Amino acid sequence: MVSHPPISSDPKRRFDRRMSLVFAGNFVSLGIFFPFFPVWLAHEGLNGEEIGLILALQIGLRVLVCPPVLRLADRSRDRAHLLIATSVASLAAACVYTIVDGYTQILVATLVLAAVWCPAIPLSDAIALSGVRRLGSDYGRSRLWGSLSFILANVVGGIALGHLGPGGFPMVLSLTFLATVAVTLFAPRMGRPLRASPLPLSPSQEPWLPQRSLTSRLRRLAPAPDLRRLLPFLLAIALIQASHALLNGFASLVWARLGYSAMEIGCFWAIGVIAEVVLFRLAAKPLRRFGVRSFLIAAALTASARWTLLTFDLGLLGFAVLQTAHALTFAATHVSLQSLIGSSVAENRFGAAQGLSFALQTILMAAATLGGGLLYETIFSSAFYAMAAMALTAFAILLLAPQPQSEGSGGKTSEPS
Q: What is the largest CA-CA distance in the chain?
A: 63
Half-sphere exposure of 253 (CA within 13 A, CB side): 25
Residue 378 CB coordination number (10 Å): 10
Q: CA-to-CA distance for 356 and 323, rounded, in angstroms?
A: 29
Mean pLDDT along residues 74-101: 93
Residue pLDDT, tens place only, 167-176: 999 999 999 9
Q: Which of 133, 134, 124, 126 is nearest to 27 (CA)?
A: 124
Q: Is the per-residue pLDDT at 55 higher than 50? A: yes
Which residues sit opposite 195 in a β-bridge? 414
Residue 162 contacts by C-beta under 8 Å, 6 or more apart in sequence?
261, 262, 263
| pLDDT value of residue 218 | 43
Q: Is the per-residue pLDDT at 90 higher than 90? A: yes
Positive or negative: CA dihedral 232, 343, 341, 145: positive
| pLDDT value of residue 329 | 97
Identify whether 225 is preceded by a cis peptide bond (ω within 30 of 0): no
Residue 86 CB coordination number (10 Å): 24
More confident residue, 325 or 11: 325
| pLDDT value of residue 303 | 98
| pLDDT value of residue 307 | 97
**Confidence grade of residue 216 (pLDDT, cut at 50, 70, 90):** low
More confident residue, 176 or 362: 176
Domains of the chain: 13-186+225-401 (1.20.1250.20)
| pLDDT value of residue 228 | 85
3-state SS, the chain, equals: CCCCCCCCHHHHHHHHHHHHHHHHHHHHHHHHHHHHHHHHHHHCCCCHHHHHHHHHHHHHHHHHHHHHHHHHHHCCCCHHHHHHHHHHHHHHHHHHHHCCCCHHHHHHHHHHHHHHHCCHHHHHHHHHHHHHHHHCCCHHHHHHHHHHHHHHHHHHHHHHHHHHCHHHHHHHHHHHHHHHHHHHCCCCCCCCCCEECCCCCCHHHCCCCCCCCHHHHHHCCCCCHHHHCCHHHHHHHHHHHHCCHHHHHHHHHHHHHCCCCHHHHHHHHHHHHHHHHHHHHHCHHHHHHHHHHHHHHHHHHHHHHHHHHCCCCCHHHHHHHHHHHHHHHHHHHHHHHHHHHHHHCCHHHHHHHHHHHHHHHHHHHHHHHHHHHHHHHHHHHHHHHHHHHHHHHHHHHHHHCCCCCCCCCCCCEECCC
| pLDDT value of residue 52 | 81
| pLDDT value of residue 62 | 82
For residues 384, 389, 391, 396, the Cα torsion angle rounded to the nearest 10 degrees is 170
Q: Is the per-residue pLDDT at 199 higher than 90? A: no
The model's pTM is 0.75
Phi and psi at residue 222, to the nearest 5°: -80, 155
Q: CA-to-CA distance for 299 and 290, rounded, in angstroms?
A: 13
Q: Is the per-residue pLDDT at 4 higher than 80? A: no
Residue pLDDT, tens place only, 324-360: 999 999 999 999 999 999 888 888 888 888 888 988 9
The rounded radius of gyration (Å) of the Cα atoms in the chain is: 21
Q: Is the per-residue pLDDT at 9 higher than 60? A: no
Q: CA-to-CA distance for 125 and 2, rounded, in angstroms?
A: 25
